[in-house]
Amino acid sequence: MRGEGHPMARIIIYSALALFLVFTGYRMLNEGRPSLGTLRDMASAPFTPKQTHPFTLTDHNGQKVSDKSFRGQFLLVFFGYTHCPDVCPTGLLVMSQAMDLLGADAARVTPLFITVDPARDGPEQLKDYVANFHQRLVGLTGSEAQIEDAAKAYNARYVRLDSEDGDKENYFMGHTATTYLTGPDGVALTSFGHETSPEDMAAEIRKFL
């Protein structure tokens, strides 16, 4: 999966994201769910320098992993889900392009995609999904409690948005659109907003390598 960095393309993507958030927020306000303000806060969760909390998950090959499994590597982490219509593909594409821009230095960075929708995103689903982006991207899933622990470790947030027709299988997940960077010791280094370009992300990562 590859995209173009043309300014007009980014404008179209961000406009679509804004409309999605406004529409979703309107629905939530009228259905007694979290407000649009909550969604906005959720979309950009700042990442302050601190030691992240322990977590245990399952990777897209069905292997159990924990935060300690990645010690010695920089981690580039994005939370989302495979049914995501726009935010996740865009965020993972930027992450993948940034990894390519790092060249040989990318070997020191492990990109992670942690699902916030474990009910639909098992290892097999994640394996097919991450293959669309970068060859080193690792998909992670787990129980609801394990996902909650991982999200807390990164100050990420998410909420289920049920469909208006009551179909329990047809729903969206509102979630943080931030990409997080941690160091080889598990300490948070910085975070990137959804508007960050691949070039800016790669340049910022290089400062820590």
User: Tell me, what's the pLDDT at 53?
Assistant: 74
Query: Cα(1)–Cα(96) distance, rounded to whole angstroms?
Result: 9
User: Tell me, what's the pLDDT at 3?
Assistant: 40
Both tokens assigned to 106: 């990318």
Q: Is 13 a residue whose pLDDT tops 60?
A: no
What is the Rg, in whole angstroms, of the alpha carbon atoms belonging to the chain?
16
Task: Give pLDDT tens digits for 16-50.
Answer: 444 444 344 434 333 334 433 444 444 445 555 55
Among residues 192, 206, 187, the alpha carbon closest in space to that of 49 is found at 187
Q: Is 114 a residue whose pLDDT tops 70?
A: yes
User: Tell me, what's the pLDDT at 63?
Assistant: 98
Task: Give pLDDT tens digits for 60-105.
Answer: 999 999 999 999 999 999 999 999 988 999 999 999 999 999 999 9
